[in-house]
Amino acid sequence: MPRRLHVLPGQPHPLGARPLRDGTNFSVHSQRAQRVELLLYDAVDAAQPARVIRLDDPAHRTWHYWHVFVPGVRPGQLYAWRAHGAFEPARGRCFDAGKVLLDPYGRAVETPPDWSRAAARTPGANDAQAAKSVVCDDHDYDWQGDQPLRRPFAQTVIYELHVRGFTRHASSGVAAPRAGTYAGLVEKIPYLRALGVTAVELMPVFQFDPQDAPPGLVNYWGYAPVSFFAPHAGYASRPGALAARHEFRDMVRALHRAGLEVILDVVYNHTAEGDERGPTYGLRGLDDGTYYLRDADGRYANYSGCGNTLAANHAVVRRLVLDSLRYWVRVMHVDGFRFDLAAILARDEFGQPLANPPLLWDIESDPVLAGTKLIAEAWDAAGLYQVGRFVGQHWKEWNGRFRDDVRAFVRGDAGVVPALADRLLGSPDLYGARPREPAQSINFVTSHDGFTLDDLVSYDRKHNEANGEGNRDGSDDNRSWNCGAEGPSDDPGVLALRTRQVKNLLAITVLSLGTPMLAMGDEMRRSQRGNNNAYCQDNETSWLDWTLLQRHAEIHRFVQGLVRIRNLRESVQRDHRLTLAELMQRVRVQLHGVHLGAPDTGHESRSLAVTAYSLSGDLLMHFALNAWWEPLDFDLPALPADAPGGWLRIIDSARPSPQDLVDPAEAEGAIGARHRVEPRSVVVLFAPLR
């Protein structure tokens, strides 16, 4: 039988488990529970707790906070909660006295070998099959002077990657047990530095439920959180939740030493508990009515597309999210966050968009987060689209309009040129009306969600049959083009065109005004064989095949060169703190078509040219883009007398490597008054001025 233990009332603050000199203070919020019990376990797969501590009201309850101080409990102790009360889902009461519940503030999560989503979904006890929280000491790590880097956005190039998928493939050169782990990523830091990126954006690393997937598959992406504080233990090379905490911090410290920032893709819009058919892991069993939104009929509101939606602007949930963010900055030293489906965080208790969402303004104004990168995916799964009008001044945005318009232009769609001009110039139509910096727009054409870059030029339609959902999942609006053959091809013409299109997309992404983001493996043409929603493919479909690096060395070299050329811009070299409007005025941007000063914005146009000066006025740059299927001759601006070298061709995506991209010191000069731009290609010219 579980042993009873002499305890003290404890304190309601701080929430979670806080180890002190003589024991540990535990505190949890539950407004609707009638009784709460703290469970202490000797083993993660124990069939029952070693000790059960009943929190008696009022000695262990202050308002809606249940708390207790347990002498002798030290870091490493496994624990969980149990909450008693009514089962009235429509009234926010989903209590099941048999369910083992994770601490919402738990710093680490230990999972038993037979962790069972099914057992958490059915009534009754599930001790042996339930995940447990672990008491942790936030000061148990020697950072050796490390701090977040706080690099300006203007100097940032983001590389989105999946911790497991980055080094899990046998070709990665990372040996077991480090392959597919935080430690494995550390081994690839020299590769990331040589590529030229300055920040890694890690797909979800909060502890998540890998069983939240179709039968026979696993949740690979990780957008199924069960904790907002614990690093995912499955990404550690050593067993145990505490080892995962240490290894995560080792990774952050190593990345910082190499000058690379760490941005976390965070999920505060829903949890793995899903809808009424889902498991009870923690929040549902503790206080469903506080943590989740429900509709007028009492069902879970589903603005996330994942079954439930957190009540982000409830005071208790706001505190949870803010405390989580502060923890990852203060204790885990991360540099920033990309907020998944961030528009959900702007919804009120009825699901309606708020003009001034409390949570988003709390994050915007929090002094702990003042130097932290905040990036919003400014839409949600229910149609709320806030790109260009997300709240505040601190936030940057994933620019979905950039992705869609650039894909459409490069594919050769009609009617896209006016939008393309805005995307190249930092999207002034979206951000120019407010005092935004040019880096406001996170520019990308691919991410984890959708086609890879290679698939974007290799498939006309998605091929998601392996996901087990009848190819119904994933977006049908991909704006892709297979260049004449669906999927793999050995046709030299098709292959050459695909290579050119890949270079066009990369050049526009990296060189446009804004903050560029590349997806893992695009620099070596990783393919998912047409699967544009590989969230459940923890296999070679999703893992990075490092043999592609040699096979597509031409593209890898091209990306490295693009980053070097981008870094030549003074707006990148120094943080000028200019707004987008001020920068546009300083660099004297001019738009052209094939004729100077006459941009063709007609429906059938597929060409655009842009001329701009450097901030100091010592470099003139000219960009010519031809998405037409025939060559076009572009007029070139006349050069002043202080440009004796004439125009230098820096980039021409139609030319074979290495002539496709050259350093300015090695570029060909003396290009005449007109320049031919080959079909479906991008040309960049420089003219140094004395």
DSSP one-letter string for 39-90: EEESSTT-SS-SEEEEE-TTTTEETTEEEEEEET--TT-EEEEEEE--EEGG
Task: Determine if residue 139 is left, alpha or beta; phi over 0 gives left, psi from -120 to 50 gives alpha, anything else beta.
Answer: alpha
pLDDT digits (tens, 9 = 90+) for 600-628: 999 999 999 999 998 888 899 999 999 99
Residue 184 lies in a domain: yes
Last residue of a domain, one of 514, 538, 573: 573
Query: Do 64 and 86 sit in the same domain of this protein?
Result: yes
pLDDT grade for 689, boundaries at 50, 70 and 90: confident
Task: Give the residue ranges of DSSP H helices in 512-579.
Answer: 548-551, 553-566, 570-573
In a domain, 84, yes or no: yes
- Kindly state whether residue 5 falls inside one of the protein's structural domains: no
pLDDT in tens, 588-604: 999 999 999 999 999 99
- Answer whether 105's CB lies under 8 Å from 51's CB: no
* Token output for 195: 């590529």
Q: Which CATH number goes with the domain that contains 66?
A: 2.60.40.10
CA 334 to chain centre: 13
**How many residues are there in the chain?**
690
Per DSSP, the chain holds a count of helices (H) and strands (E) of 17, 27
Structural domain includes residue 597: yes
Do residues 391 and 503 both lie within one domain? yes
For the residues 683-689, what does the mean pLDDT come to?
Answer: 93
What pLDDT digit, counting tens, does each position of 467-495 carry? Answer: 999 999 999 999 999 999 999 999 999 99
- Please determine, for residue 558, whether its predicted confidence score (pLDDT) is greater than 60: yes
**11 part of a folded domain:** no
CATH number at residue 159: 3.20.20.80
C-alpha torsion angle, residues 546, 550, 553, 557 (rounded to 10)? 60
- Is 1 a residue whose pLDDT tops 50? no
**Domain shared by 123 and 166, yes or no:** no
Among the candidates 66, 100, 134, a domain finishes at 134
The answer to the question of residue 237 being in a domain is: yes
Within a domain: residue 169? yes
For residue 570, name the pLDDT band (cuts at 50, 70, 90). Answer: confident
Is 377 catalytic? The answer is yes
pLDDT above 70: residue 327: yes
Total of domains in the chain: 3
pLDDT level of residue 670 (50, 70, 90 thresholds): low
- Dump pLDDT digits (tens) for 91-147: 999 999 999 999 999 999 999 999 999 999 999 999 999 999 999 999 999 999 999
DSSP structure string for 457-509: TT-SS---GGGSSTT-SS-S------TTSSS----HHHHHHHHHHHHHHHHHH
One domain, residues 598 and 547: no
Q: Do both 391 and 448 map to the same domain?
A: yes
Residues 204, 102, single domain; the answer is no
Residue 678 a catalytic site member? no
Same domain? 568 vs 586: no
Set 261, 265, 288, 340: catalytic member: 340
Task: Give the structural domain span for 590.
Answer: 582-688
**Of these residues, 37, 103, 247, 377, which one is catalytic?**
377
* Residue 447 vs residue 641, higher pLDDT: 447
Note whether 494 and 537 are same-domain residues: yes
Q: How many CB atoms lie within 10 A of CB 502?
A: 25
338 touches 201 (CB < 8 A): yes
- Separation of alpha carbons 156 and 603, rounded Å: 35
Compare 500 and 574 and report the one with higher pLDDT: 500
Q: Are residues 542 and 650 in the same domain?
A: no
Q: For residue 614, is it within any domain? A: yes
Structural domain ending residue among the three candidates 543, 573, 603: 573
Q: 537 with 596, same domain?
A: no
Q: List C-alpha distances in Å: 154 to 286, 303, 316, 483, 622.
A: 44, 33, 35, 34, 21
Does residue 38 have a pLDDT over 80? yes
pLDDT grade for 154, boundaries at 50, 70 and 90: very high
Does 586 lie in the same domain as 550? Answer: no
**Average pLDDT of the chain?**
96
- Do 638 and 548 lie in a common domain? no
pLDDT band at 412 (very low <50, low <70, confident <90, very high): very high
